Amino acid sequence: MMHFQIERHAEVASTNDLALARGKAGAPEGTLILAEYQTAGRGRYGRHWTAPHGKCILASVILRHRLLRDEIALPNLIGALSIAQAIHATTRLAARIKMPNDVRIRKKKIAGALTELAADRQRQPFFVLGFGVNVNITEEEFPPELRDTATSVRIESNADAEMCRGALLQSILHRLEDTYLLLKSGKTDCILKQVNTWKEREKEPRTNF
């Protein structure tokens, strides 16, 4: 079992940056950085990630498995898989993985994962898995240019009140731990099989999970 050591912040530049710094200083596996707001959040290829204060899950976790060369792409998939499964489990929404690291509903982005590799002061490798989930953003809070391509759990649930971010985060972490343990035990085929089940297709079949 992994024990998550949670570090909460009202505002950071980037949860990934802070987790990388903690990891380089020797922070243990399972150290989880949470923030209400990021001033310099980023996604894949350095794309800027913006989110209103207190509306999203903004998190990064330190993991100390030594990745093999053919495993480098798996952490992003593990993150996206855990988020898609958790959204479906807590809301019944049809979340799907947009390869390789996004989660979408009705082809609109609701979450993303970002893995960054590093080494600590003892030259031991580790990686940081960061993820952001749009939970309580309303349509009016999205910039006009994103309203056709982005969404949130609240929008998709047609909820009048805000959703519980804590319950969703707990569900994500539970599934993240299970899938990460598969990675550590070398059961990458099991991970890829699950990813294939949850990945987005051009025409979604009717499926009851």
Domain residue ranges of the chain, discontinuous segments joined by +: 5-198
Q: Are strands 56-63 and 96-98 parallel, antiparallel or unpaired?
A: unpaired
pLDDT band at 150 (very low <50, low <70, confident <90, very high): very high
Q: Could you tell me how many residues make up the chain?
A: 209
pTM as predicted:
0.92
What percent of the chain has pLDDT above 90? Answer: 85
Tell me the per-residue pLDDT of 102-141, one tens digit each, with 9 for 90 and over: 999 999 999 999 999 999 999 999 999 999 999 999 999 9
| Burial class, 166, CB count within 10 angstroms (exposed 0-12 / middle 13-18 / buried 19+) | exposed
d(CA 4, CA 7): 9
Sign of the torsion angle spanned by Cα atoms 175, 66, 98, 187: negative
The answer to whether the bond into 52 is cis (omega within 30° of 0) is no
DSSP element (H, E) containing 59: strand 56-63
Tens digit of pLDDT for each residue in 32-89?
A: 999 999 998 665 545 666 678 999 999 999 999 999 999 999 999 999 999 999 999 9
Tokens, residue 87: 């959204």
Measured distance CA(181)–CA(185) in Å, rounded? 6
CA distance 106 to 148: 10
Write the class of the CATH domain 5-198: alpha beta
